[in-house]
């Protein structure tokens, strides 16, 4: 094993997969969490071969408290010395006014983006406390700073991440654990495809006429915050495409 470990949730796609590749390139061993086993195995094999790092894959739904807790706790002791936790697993479902929203979509977003993040953090923060060091990077959003029409529940979950990010930093302060929020604007990943439940045309339309951020842009920012000296913590970073001024204002050509 190498000397540093990063645990990344939502590592099969988008920002999480880009982080897995970047942290492996920097020599980190990885614990990768997501639901799609085949994709997890593919990325794990790719990184072990390309970068001579070790990878543990946890096929788990972060919404399932018993499963995610047991899987994390079942890791060998050496893997529990996590240096960087990237709380990235998350999603949006639907884009409807509050009176038309699907309550199952609301449950999925709240359970994944808020409760799933908490379940993982509960376990890993205790490991970090034991080791008296660690860095938790929470993936929030511009949607956690502002609200946009029909974004209601998704925005509420990301506002919750914003609050949790601040709360965690206070609670973990005596233990020397860093806590950082990375808040992206529009990033072209599977995000819109998931939001619009596989409607590729609608998903593509979100990014048409402007240059969105790419997952790599966010991974670069995460690497930057994770590689600061021990005495420096970046509390909060808001990263937007140049063509996006606010949550609801983009400039399309
Ligand atoms: P993707 O859809 O490309 O990736 C989401 C990842 O989360 C996938 O690996 C998915 O894996 C995983 N995931 C989703 N639900 C669960 C679950 N219940 N349990 C475990 N893993 C899960 O989207 P992004 O990369 O864009 O999203 C990553 C994060 O960035 C999210 O928190 C999102 O809210 C946030 N974000 C995205 C922005 C964007 O414009 N794209 C902007 C701002 C923030 P699997 O399906 O295999 O479980
Ligand atoms: C995702 C970005 O476009 O929904 O958090 O505000 S967006």
> Is 207 annotated in the active site?
no
Domains, the chain: 5-184+216-244 (3.40.50.720)
Output the CA 185–ligand 2 centroid distance in Å: 6
- Measured from the CB, is residue 142 less than 6 Å from ligand 2? yes
Q: What is the pLDDT of residues 131-163, one digit of tens each?
A: 999 999 999 999 999 999 999 999 999 999 999
The pLDDT assigned to 3 comes to 85
Rounded to 10 degrees, the C-alpha dihedral 40/13/63/47 comes to 30
Over residues 95-103, the mean pLDDT reads 98
| ipTM above threshold 0.90 | yes
Atom of ligand 2 nearest to the CA of 206: 3
**pLDDT score of 65 more than 70:** yes
- How many CB atoms within 10 Å of residue 101? 17
SS (H, E, C) 198-223: CCHHHHHHHHCCCCCEEHHHHHHHHH
Mean pLDDT of the residues in the chain: 98
Strand order across the 84-87 sheet:
55-59, 29-34, 5-9, 84-87, 134-139, 177-184, 236-239
* Sign of the four-CA dihedral 2, 214, 143, 109: negative
Tokens of 134: 């660690």
Of the pLDDT bands very low, low, confident and very high (cuts 50, 70, 90), residue 202 is very high
**Phi and psi, residue 232, nearest 5°:** -110, 125
CA of 106 to the centre of ligand 2 (A): 16
- Smallest CA-to-CA distance from 107 within 156, 162, 163 is with 156
Closest C-alpha among 197, 150, 184, 170 to residue 15:
184
Angstrom distance (rounded) from CA 236 to CA 184: 11
- Judging by DSSP bridges, how do beta strands 244-246 and 249-250 pair with one another? antiparallel
Condensed to tens digits (0 to 9), the pLDDT of residues 207-230 reads 999 999 999 999 999 999 999 999
Q: Quick one: pLDDT band at residue 2, thresholds 50, 70, 90?
A: low
């Amino acid at each position: 094993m190498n000397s540093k470990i990063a645990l990344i949730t939502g590592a099969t796609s988008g920002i999480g997969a880009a982080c897995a590749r970047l942290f492996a390139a920097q020599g980190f061993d990885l614990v990768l969490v997501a639901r799609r086993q085949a994709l997890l195995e593919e990325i794990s094999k790719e990184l072990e071969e390309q970068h001579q790092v070790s990878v543990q894959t946890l096929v788990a739904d972060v919404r399932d408290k018993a499963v995610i807790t047991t899987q994390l706790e079942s890791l060998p002791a050496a893997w529990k010395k996590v240096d960087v936790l990237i709380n990235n697993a998350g999603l949006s479902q639907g884009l409807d006014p509050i009176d038309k929203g699907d309550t199952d979509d609301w449950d999925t977003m709240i359970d994944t983006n808020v409760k799933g993040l908490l379940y993982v953090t509960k376990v890993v923060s205790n490991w970090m406390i034991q080791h008296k060091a660690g860095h938790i990077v929470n993936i929030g959003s511009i949607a956690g700073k502002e609200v946009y029409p029909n974004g209601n529940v998704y925005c509420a979950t990301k506002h919750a991440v914003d609050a949790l990010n601040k709360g965690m930093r206070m609670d973990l302060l005596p233990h020397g654990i860093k806590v950082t929020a990375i808040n992206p604007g529009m990033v072209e990943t599977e995000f819109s495809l998931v939001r619009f439940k596989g409607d590729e045309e609608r998903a593509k339309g979100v990014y048409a006429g402007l240059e969105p951020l790419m997952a790599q842009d966010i991974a670069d920012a995460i690497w930057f915050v994770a590689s600061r000296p021990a005495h420096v913590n970046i509390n909060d970073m808001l990263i937007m495409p140049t063509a996006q001024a606010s949550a609801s204002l983009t400039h399309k050509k």
